[in-house]
Amino acid sequence: MARLYDSRKRILVTGGAGFIGSHLIDRLLAGGHEVICLDNLFTGTKRNIDHLHDNPRFEFMRHDVTFPLYVEVDEIYNLACPASPVHYQYDPVQTTKTSVHGAINMLGLAKRLRCKILQASTSEVYGDPTVHPQAERYWGNVNPIGPRSCYDEGKRCAETLFFDYHRQHGLEIKVARIFNTYGPRMHHADGRVVSNFIMQALTGRDITIYGDGQQTRSFCYVDDLVEGLLRLMAKDKDVTGPVNLGNPSEITIAQLAMHIVEATGASSKIIHAKLPRDDPSQRCPDIALAKTALDWEPLVTLDAGLKKTVTHFRNVLKSLK
């Protein structure tokens, strides 16, 4: 049973030591809530939450969501899962378990407590889309047996579980489909395009583009993304999602490389490598639902966000020396 005696909420964030999770926790603590940060530190890092340990309303718990958990909370944000290809392909079976068993365990906890729960899903549920931009009503074009399937299909199955718990048990759920997000606290070796390009530029290496660079992405700054998650969780029970959260400003990978060269002041050249299997050719969210249901849209421009992100990675490089 969720606690009823205090207006301050006790909130569980799984994957809380990760990139997005740690920023979300910052906002929740700033809002006066108590936060339990759950993470097994596979891709999350204590550096992302070091500044929080003196906060009496913050608690860190090292735990793997594939195992059951028994705590008393009022809300759950389920963000636990490696999200970059380098990390989720390292142990693909465990990645699927994290998405599926993790969802089952967190939904079971929410059912016992009768509390609201949010699932951090992903734009990868759309696969290599044949519809552009991608709206929530699109069912996707996903390879179920490819090297990315552990993540894509794991997240799709998690969404299925969330909606079945909602229909079968009346659980109050929220599902956010997160598109490419960037900002400070990204892991410097996560293999994502923004971190890859910035690290290559800052270390004087050439910037590697896979394929011809004409594939498109849209990049949302982490502060905007967190605002979207908070607004979705705050909505009444009729708004379940899934809701796309991302920046609809589409850009080619080649254009992104030039933005990063400019932001870093680097003299890096552009080189090309073979495109990975099942890499989407286009990825851009239709955020009409987020605008109408959440009154949300991204506010931070790409250049402003990259400036803050580059500063973060400069500091990371200093700490690695």
Residues acting as catalytic residues? 151
User: Closest by alpha carbon to 299, among 291, 254, 178?
Assistant: 291
Phi, psi of 239 (to 5 degrees): -95, 100
Task: Report the alpha-carbon distance of residue 282 to residue 32 in Å, rounded.
Answer: 40
What's the angle, vertex CA 278, arms to CA 190 and CA 280, rounded to 5? 80
Q: Tell me the CB-side half-sphere exposure of residue 12, using CA atoms within 13 A.
A: 29
Q: Which of 64, 59, 104, 94 is nearest to 80 (CA)?
A: 64
| CA–CA gap between residue 303 and residue 234 (Å, rounded) | 30
DSSP string for residues in 38-63: EE--SS--GGGTGGGTT-TTEEEEE-
- What is the spatial distance between Cα 160 and Cα 119, in angstroms, rounded to a whole number? 11
User: Measured between alpha carbons, how far is 287 from 176 in angstroms, rounded to an integer?
Assistant: 11
Buried (b) or exposed (e) across 20-47, using 16+ Cβ within 10 A? Answer: bbbbbbbebbeeebbbbbbbbebbbbee
Query: Is the distance from CB of 189 to CB of 198 less than 8 angstroms?
Result: no
